[in-house]
């Protein structure tokens, strides 16, 4: 870290004061927990306005280059600001795909023209981004993408569909993996990667109703949609490499993200509070030895995940298997979150059966909804089972599963 302790302390005080002052009041409706759960215009407008405010205050993209709208400061400042957002539990930055995946990718591999066109508008939330990777017939098997991109002069004609497009109804741009050549030796060689506008003829995002009963993403249909070949990022036919680079940003294996909080943190402490109020056989549930044992286990696991992040930054304590912590992070954290929500439901006695919308639902039904939504973490971006294959093969060096 290249900033002095003095600067750190002063900056910490500054951000702390700003967020205390500017943190939005309760909007009066249940906010989503992450960008994958934005289901209504009301939620979207609220979150977009909030991100813009944080950016204009200078607390987003602080380490991105100034010529593209970034702050040009040391990453340490952004880390402090991000930690403060988490600590103050402010609403998340809704343009996650732009800020954490597309933005760093464009800065890393894009042309000057692409950086010029997109980076600042990602930070200000003027342009919302979505991701077109998964397809209906092959969710986690990215290399098998079949959406066709056929060259026609200096344009590509797109046909097919993408699915699980978070923010699909609101997005202005998409990072798109498409098949530009069907006659290659391997399935990977025929892929190209595009940065495409969403609001053009031939692209139709159709909302999908989730298991919670809410809307949060779309199936996006492409019917002869035409885009310029200047939308390519990386060379034509080299889309797989660009997709792999994107995943290193998505899984936070590579740095360079704009920063900011990206999902509402769930903490075991909140479940401990729940256990104090819940009743078991006429006594608070927190007095039940089995409940206590489980709470301690969740606290210990949560602490371990937090300490993993800290240890991962210490070179001398790098694990025997490099990448073990970072590559398994999505797996470990999403599974923990799912189980914690499930446990929180189990503490509510008969009231566990209520759901969001019922006046008597405990905490407004957030644990029930949180549990159902937690599957987006254990399924989206590669299911936990696929993650275990990846970690087993790339980290432990086990042979590929057939």
Backbone angles phi, psi at 304, to 5 degrees: -60, -40
Q: Please, which residue, 314 or 350, has the CB nearer to other proteins? A: 314
Q: Please, which residue, 66 or 401, has the CB nearer to other proteins? A: 401
CB of 317 to other proteins, least distance (A): 5
CB of 107 to other proteins, least distance (A): 23
CB of 379 to other proteins, least distance (A): 16
Q: Please, which residue, 226 or 303, has the CB nearer to other proteins? A: 303
Number of C-beta neighbours around residue 322 at 10 A = 11
Q: Please, which residue, 226 or 276, has the CB nearer to other proteins? A: 276
Q: Please, which residue, 41 or 141, has the CB nearer to other proteins? A: 141
Q: Can you give the three-state secondary structure of the chain, one letter per residue?
A: CCCCHHHHHHHHHHHHHHHHHHCCCCCCCCCCCEHHHCCCHHHHHHHHHHHHHHHHHCCCCCCCCHHHCCCCCCHHHHHHHHHHHHHCCCCCCCCHHHHHHHHHHHHHHCCHHHHHHHHHHHHCCCCCEEEECCECCECCCHHHCCCEEEEECCEEEEEEEEEEEECCCCCCEEEEEEECCCCCCCHHHHEEEEEEECCCCCEEEEEEECCCCCEEEEEEEEEEEEEEHHHECCCCCCHHHHHHHHHHHHCCCCCCCCCCCCECCCCHHHHHHHHHHCEECCEEHHHCHHHHHHHHHHHHHHHHHHHHHHHCCCHHHCCCCCCHHHHHHHHHHHHHHHHHHHHHHHCCHHHHHCCCCCCCCHHHHHHHHHHHHHHHHHHCCCCHHHHHHHHHHHHCCCCCCC
CB of 87 to other proteins, least distance (A): 6
Q: Please, which residue, 264 or 299, has the CB nearer to other proteins? A: 299
CA nearest to 334, candidates 305, 280, 370, 377: 377
Classify strands 129-132 and 173-179 as parallel, antiparallel or unpaired. parallel
CB of 293 to other proteins, least distance (A): 6
> Where do contacts with other proteins occur on this chain (CB under 8 A)?
1, 8, 12, 76, 79-80, 83, 86-87, 272, 286, 292-293, 295-297, 299-301, 303-305, 307-308, 310-311, 313-314, 316-317, 319-321, 324-325, 328, 331-332, 385, 388-389, 391-393, 395-402
CB of 337 to other proteins, least distance (A): 15
CB of 76 to other proteins, least distance (A): 6
CB of 296 to other proteins, least distance (A): 5
Q: Please, which residue, 65 or 322, has the CB nearer to other proteins? A: 322
Q: Please, which residue, 159 or 254, has the CB nearer to other proteins? A: 254
Q: Please, which residue, 204 or 312, has the CB nearer to other proteins? A: 312
CB of 397 to other proteins, least distance (A): 7
């Amino acid at each position: 870290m290249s900033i002095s302790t003095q600067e750190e302390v002063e900056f910490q005080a500054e951000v702390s004061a700003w967020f205390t002052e500017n943190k939005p009041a309760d909007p009066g409706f249940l906010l989503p927990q992450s960008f994958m759960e934005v289901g209504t215009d009301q939620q979207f407008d609220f979150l977009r306005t909030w991100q813009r405010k944080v950016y204009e205050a200078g607390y987003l993209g602080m380490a991105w280059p100034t010529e593209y709208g970034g702050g040009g400061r040391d990453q340490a400042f952004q880390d402090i600001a991000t930690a403060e957002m988490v600590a103050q539990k402010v609403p998340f930055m809704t343009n996650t795909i732009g800020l954490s995946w597309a933005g760093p990718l464009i800065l890393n591999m894009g042309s000057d023209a692409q950086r010029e066109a997109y980076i600042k508008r990602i930070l200000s939330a003027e342009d919302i981004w979505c991701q077109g990777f998964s397809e209906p017939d092959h969710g986690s098997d990215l290399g098998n993408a079949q959406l066709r991109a056929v060259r026609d002069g200096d344009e590509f004609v797109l046909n097919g569909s993408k699915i699980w497009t978070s923010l699909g109804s609101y997005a202005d741009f998409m990072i798109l993996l498409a098949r530009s050549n069907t006659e290659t030796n391997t399935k990977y060689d025929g892929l190209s990667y595009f940065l495409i506008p969403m609001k053009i003829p031939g692209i139709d995002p159709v909302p999908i109703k989730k298991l919670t009963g809410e809307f949060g993403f779309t199936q996006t249909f492409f019917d002869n949609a035409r885009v310029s070949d200047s939308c390519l990022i990386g060379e034509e036919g080299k889309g797989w490499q660009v997709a792999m680079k994107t995943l290193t940003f998505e899984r936070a294996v590579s740095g360079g993200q704009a920063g900011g909080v990206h999902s509402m943190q769930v903490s075991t402490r909140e479940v401990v509070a729940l256990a104090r109020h819940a009743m078991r056989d006429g006594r608070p549930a927190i007095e039940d030895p089995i409940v206590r044992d489980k709470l301690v286990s969740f606290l210990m696991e949560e602490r371990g995940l937090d300490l993993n992040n800290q240890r991962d930054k210490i070179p001398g304590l790098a694990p025997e298997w490099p990448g073990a912590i970072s590559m398994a992070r999505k797996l470990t954290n999403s599974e923990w979150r799912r189980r914690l929500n499930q446990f929180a439901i189990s503490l509510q006695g008969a009231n566990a059966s209520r759901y969001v919308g019922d006046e008597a639902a405990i905490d407004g039904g957030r644990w029930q909804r949180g549990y159902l939504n937690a599957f987006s973490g254990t399924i989206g971006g590669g299911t936990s089972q696929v993650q275990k294959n990846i970690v087993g093969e790339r980290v432990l060096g086990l042979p590929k599963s057939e």
